[in-house]
C-alpha cells in the first residue's frame, strides 16, 4: 500500500490550544540560522529552455547544506520536503543523510526529536518557533514526500518507534478544531481514502471528516497564506481519484475549493510571473527576495499538486516556474531562510517530476532498521557549510528550485475528473 501511495506522491497530538499558541509561519519573523549561499562562481544571466533553467536552479540550490546540530529539526525537515532522501547535512568533514540523522535519536536543546506515546510515537511538540513541530504531525506530513515505509525505524526518547506508530498516534490524538492540515497530509498518504477509526476519546473519525474540516477552514487563517491547507486538500483529492471513482460528497466540495483558489492565485499573479505578496488577501508585490521566495514559492508548490497535467504548459504556469527559477539563480549567492527556500525548491522539484517522467522520483537509500544503517561517510563533491548568521547582516533575496531524494518511485498527480456542480464562492476563503 505504501508503494502505491508514493506512486501518487506527486498527484502527493493534537491540542486545540496549539492554534492559539503559534502564529502562521510567515509571522514567526526571521529564522535563527540562515542557510548559506552557494559557493559557485557568480551566475551569468540564466538562459536556455524552461527545463534547462529549472535544472540549473535545482542543481545550484541543491549545493547548499545545512549543518547537523547547528540547524534545528524544524529547518532540517523543511530540507527533506524538497530533497527527500537526497537531503544531506554536513557534520564536521562528514556528510550524513538528513532522514537518517533525524531518525538516529538526536536531541535538540537537550530534548529528543521523537517521543513515545501511549498510542505509538510523535514528533516533539512545539516549544518555540523554528525548533520542533510548528503544527501537529508537521514532521511526518512533510516527510511523506520521501515516501518513507511504514516499518522505517526512529529512535525516540524511550525506545524505538516506526512510521506506523507515528501514523497511529496521529489518528488517536486528532481532535476537532484548527491545525489538522499536516494530520490530513500524513494520513491521506498512508491510509485509504475511506479509512475510519475512533480516536483516544472514542470519537468517530475518518479521512473524509479531515477533508471536510480542511475544506471549511478559511484560507486566510491558514499557515503561510493558506497554501499548506490547499496542498493537503489537493493531495488528498488526488489520492482519492487514484481509485478511479467519480468525486462525490465531501470530495466534490474539496475539489471545487481547490479549483476556486487555482483561479484566485492566477488572478493575483504579477506581470513578472510572481504571485501576490499578500497571498489571497489581495494584489501585492515585494522588492524583497525573501518575501517573494516565501509567497511565490508556497503558491507554486501547492499549484504543482493541484493542477491537472494538461494545464502545466499554460503560459501563466510556465511564467511562474520561470520566475522562481530565475529568482533562485540570481540570489544563489545570498543566505536565505530554510523554510521559504525549501518550499520554493519543492515547487520546482514537483514541476520537474510532473513534466519529465521518471525525474526527481524519491528513492529510499536507507535501511529500514536502525542497526542496519550505514555510518556517516566522508562528504563527496563540493558543498556549502552553513555558518551562524552575522549580527546585523542584511537579509538577502532569493527564489527556489528543487532537487529530489530517493525512495519508492513517485507517480504523477492525478488529473481531476470533470465536475459540473459549482461550489458557491460568495464567502472568500483565504
Instruction: Name 420's Cβ contacts closer than 8 Å, sequence gap at least 6.
Output: none
DSSP 342: H
- What was the pLDDT predicted at 134? 83
Lowest-pLDDT range of 14-18, 154-158, 183-187, 280-284: 14-18
Going by DSSP bridges, is the β-strand pair 153-156/120-123 parallel, antiparallel, or unpaired?
A: unpaired
356-413 confidence digits (pLDDT tens):
888 778 878 888 888 878 655 444 444 443 333 344 443 333 222 222 232 232 333 3
**Matching residue, cell 511526518:** 140
Mean pLDDT of the chain: 78
Going by DSSP bridges, is the β-strand pair 66-67/88-91 parallel, antiparallel, or unpaired?
A: parallel
For residue 64, give the C-alpha cell: 547548499
Tell me, rounded to whole angstroms, the distance of Cα 367 from its chain centroid: 23
- In the chain, where are the structural domains located? 2-378
Query: For residues 98 and 88, is the Cβ–Cβ distance under 8 A?
Result: yes
Task: Please tell me the distance from the alpha carbon of residue 420 to that of residue 12, in angstroms, as a whole number.
Answer: 24
- What was the pLDDT predicted at 365? 80
pLDDT at 309 over 50: yes
Is 296 exposed, middle or buried (CB count within 10 Å of its CB: 0-12, 13-18, 19+)? buried
For residue 414, give the C-alpha cell: 492525478
31-46 confidence digits (pLDDT tens):
545 454 544 443 344 4
pLDDT band at 12 (very low <50, low <70, confident <90, very high): very low
**β-pair partners for 89:** 66, 96
pLDDT band at 48 (very low <50, low <70, confident <90, very high): low
Class level of CATH domain 2-378: mainly alpha
CA–CA distances in Å: residue 188 to residues 107, 133, 210: 29, 19, 9
Counting residues of the chain whose pLDDT is more than 90, the rounded percentage is 54
Q: Answer with the residue of higher pLDDT: 112 or 6.
A: 112
CA–CA distances in Å: residue 93 to residues 87, 288, 383, 385: 16, 34, 11, 10
Query: For residues 30 and 350, is the Cβ–Cβ distance under 8 A?
Result: no
pLDDT at 429 over 80: no
Q: Answer with the residue of higher pLDDT: 265 or 410.
A: 265
CA angle 115, 119, 125 (to 5 degrees): 35
- What was the pLDDT predicted at 379? 47
Task: Please tell me the distance from the alpha carbon of residue 34 to that of residue 30, in angstroms, as a whole number.
Answer: 9
- What was the pLDDT predicted at 301? 96
Amino acid at each position: 500500500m505504501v508503494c502505491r501511495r508514493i506512486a501518487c506522491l506527486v498527484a502527493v497530538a493534537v491540542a486545540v490550544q496549539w492554534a492559539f499558541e503559534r502564529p502562521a509561519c510567515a509571522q514567526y519573523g526571521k529564522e535563527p540560522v540562515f542557510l548559506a549561499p552557494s559557493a559557485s562562481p557568480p551566475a551569468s544571466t540564466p538562459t536556455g529552455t524552461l527545463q534547462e533553467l529549472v535544472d540549473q536552479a535545482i542543481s545550484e540550490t541543491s549545493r547548499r547544506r545545512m549543518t547537523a546540530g547547528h540547524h534545528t529539526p524544524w529547518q532540517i525537515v523543511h530540507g527533506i520536503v524538497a530533497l527527500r532522501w537526497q537531503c544531506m547535512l554536513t557534520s564536521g568533514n562528514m556528510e550524513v543523510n538528513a532522514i537518517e540523522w533525524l531518525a538516529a535519536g538526536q536531541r535538540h536543546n537537550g530534548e529528543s526529536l521523537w517521543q513515545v506515546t501511549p498510542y505509538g510515537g510523535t514528533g516533539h511538540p512545539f516549544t518555540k518557533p523554528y525548533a520542533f513541530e510548528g503544527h501537529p504531525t508537521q514532521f511526518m506530513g512533510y516527510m511523506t514526500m520521501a515516501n518513507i515505509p511504514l516499518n522505517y525505524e526512529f529512535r525516540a526518547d524511550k525506545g524505538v518507534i516506526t512510521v506506523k506508530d507515528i501514523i497511529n498516534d496521529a489518528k488517536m490524538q486528532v481532535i476537532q478544531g484548527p491545525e489538522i492540515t499536516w494530520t490530513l497530509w500524513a494520513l491521506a498518504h498512508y491510509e485509504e481514502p475511506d479509512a475510519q477509526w475512533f480516536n483516544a476519546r472514542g470519537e468517530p473519525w475518518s479521512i473524509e471528516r479531515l477533508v471536510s474540516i480542511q475544506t471549511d477552514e478559511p484560507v486566510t487563517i491558514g499557515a503561510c497564506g493558506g497554501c499548506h491547507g490547499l496542498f493537503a486538500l489537493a493531495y488528498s483529492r488526488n489520492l482519492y481519484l487514484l481509485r478511479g471513482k467519480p468525486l462525490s460528497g465531501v470530495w466534490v466540495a474539496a475539489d471545487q475549493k481547490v479549483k476556486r483558489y487555482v483561479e484566485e492565485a492566477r488572478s493575483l499573479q504579477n506581470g513578472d510571473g510572481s504571485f501576490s505578496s499578500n497571498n489571497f488577501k489581495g494584489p501585492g508585490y515585494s522588492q524583497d527576495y525573501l518575501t517573494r521566495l516565501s509567497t511565490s514559492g508556497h503558491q507554486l508548490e501547492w499549484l504543482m499538486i493541484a493542477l491537472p497535467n494538461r494545464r502545466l504548459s499554460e503560459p501563466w504556469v510556465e511564467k511562474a516556474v520561470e520566475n522562481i527559477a530565475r529568482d533562485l539563480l540570481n540570489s544563489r549567492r545570498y543566505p536565505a531562510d530554510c523554510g521559504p527556500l525549501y518550499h520554493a525548491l519543492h515547487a520546482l522539484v514537483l514541476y520537474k517530476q510532473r513534466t519529465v517522467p521518471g525525474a526527481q522520483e524519491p528513492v529510499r537509500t536507507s535501511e529500514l532498521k536502525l542497526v542496519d544503517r550505514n555510518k556517516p561517510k566522508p562528504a563527496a563533491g563540493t558543498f556549502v557549510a552553513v555558518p551562524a548568521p552575522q549580527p546585523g547582516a542584511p537579509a538577502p533575496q532569493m527564489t527556489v528550485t528543487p532537487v529530489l531524494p530517493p525512495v519508492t518511485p513517485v507517480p504523477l498527480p492525478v488529473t481531476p475528473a470533470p465536475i459540473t456542480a459549482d461550489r458557491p464562492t460568495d464567502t472568500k476563503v483565504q
